Amino acid sequence: MAENKSAEVAVILTDENKSIIWVNDAFLNITGYSLFEVLGKKPGSILQGKNTSKETIELISKSLKKQLSVETQILNYRKSGEPYSCHLAIHPVFNDKKVLTNYIAFEIDETNKSLESEYSMLQIQKKYKASSLEPMDEVTLFRRLNTLIIRKNYFLDPDLDIKLVAVGLKSNTKYLSQVVNNQFGNNFKHYINQFRINKLKEVITDPQNKGANLFEMAQQCGFKNKSTFHKVFKEFTGTTPKEFLKQNKDN
């Protein structure tokens, strides 16, 4: 009997104007984009293409205008231009005054035939909202965390730790750790390192940095220790920095 593989669930968090403020690793794996390529963009502008159903786009648009959840099948496109069919669910997020603050979307790539044919989007929601914090409080705190880390480039600080961030957010390390684990699916250190690696890949492949020392570039992106830098880089990319640089030169 073939072993069932768990679905890789892409998660997209936008602001109230539908501009992306965070995506998880699964989204990057499925679409081929880097985090910094999608921040501030609207999901439809980068994922939809010529064969995406206009009726489906209209259904999504009408639902979101009414601030209603929507669940549907849609044909999206990876960065490479390859189309893929996916199961999509989008939910509006409101604050305690019932004012719209965000949208959160869950997407499963259905081109992977090894996945079970049916997957409960309700279960996905529970997975990403299972917390002793109220769901609204959790999403709000995660939104504030992303704003602090990304827009102010906090990840570039090599001495950044969860205690400093908790103080900056006027929260505590327990809640912050909980939110990162539930919304991001990994620990705080991994969460910060994803920004450092994505930024480093941009720096490494910038023609202006041709011939620059790899570790010096890594230090500019928030890495402090050379061995840690190499270990984390391979963990995120599956290759060494030198191999990555060579591959990008060859492309």
- Of all residues in the chain, the percent with pLDDT exceeding 90 is 43
Report residue 112's pLDDT band, with 50, 70 and 90 as the boundaries: low
Task: Report the range out of 110-114, 185-189, 232-236 with the highest average pLDDT.
Answer: 232-236
Q: Is the pLDDT of residue 43 over 90?
A: yes
pTM exceeding the 0.95 threshold for the entire prediction:
no
Q: Is the pLDDT of residue 187 over 80?
A: yes
- Of all residues in the chain, the percent with pLDDT exceeding 70 is 85
Beta bridge partners of 12: 23, 105
CB 88 within 8 A of CB 110: no
What span, in angstroms and rounded, lies between the C-alpha atoms of 217 and 204? 7
What are 127-164's pLDDT values in tens digits? Answer: 544 444 455 577 778 878 888 888 788 999 999 999 99
CB 201 within 8 A of CB 218: no
The pLDDT of residue 134 is 55
